[in-house]
Amino acid sequence: MIEFPNELEILITREFEAPIQLVFDVFTQEEHVRNTFAPFGEEMKVCSIDLRVGGDYHFVMVTDDGTEMSFRGTYLEVEPPTRSVQTWLFEGWPDAEAVETMDLHETDGVTTLAWKLAFKDQAGRDHMTKYDGLEANFDNVERYLRSLLVA
């Protein structure tokens, strides 16, 4: 489910049939992010994560027409397996700066994700709402988790 609680935020809630530690790892470990980040199967050119407060992450994907999309940020809170907060910057839109918050909790083997992107200004958020890869990323995670759990 996707919501726009105010003009600065995007909130996505998802449930995954997977244990919380695995869901946390899929969002925070390079080996997993490499397999799930690109919404339309774009090539992941860079995928580096330094998962600690003050550590940086950087993801670059290349679309099929050769455009590079670069996302980077710094971890502000790292509390495995329930929460991480990090700055979020998409380098294609200079104004689109945000703080990304991931909260997880598990009930009866189902892990609920509350993912929030809070932009500095409305222009940044409006950029992002025109971009249609937003939920595809979480669909990828859902599919990927299923493949891990079946294997």
Partner 1 sequence: MARSSTTADVFNAIAEAHRRDILDALIGGEKAVGTIVDDLSMSQPQVSKHLRVLSEVGLVASRADGRRRLYRLEPARLRPFHEWLAKYEQAMHDRLDRVDDYLKDLQRQGETP
List the one residue out of 82, 109, 87, 76 whose CA is nearest residue 24.
82
Tell me if 57 sits within 8 A of 68, measured CB to CB.
no
Q: How far is the CB of 95 from partner 1 (least distance, A)?
A: 14
Of these, 6, 29, 31, 40, which contacts partner 1 (CB under 8 A)?
40
Of these, 6, 31, 139, 147, which contacts partner 1 (CB under 8 A)?
139
Four-CA torsion 17, 89, 2, 76, nearest 10 degrees: 60
DSSP for residue 107? E
Q: How far is the CB of 120 from partner 1 (least distance, A)?
A: 19
- Fill in the per-residue mask, 102 to 131: x = in contact with partner 1 (CB under 8 A), - = not in contact: --------x------------------xxx
What values do phi and psi take at 44, rounded to 5? Answer: -90, 110
Q: Which is nearer to partner 1, 52 or 65 (by Cβ)?
A: 65
Residues recorded for the chain: 151
Q: Which is nearer to partner 1, 55 or 133 (by Cβ)?
A: 133
Q: Is 134 in the site for partner 1 (CB under 8 A)?
A: yes
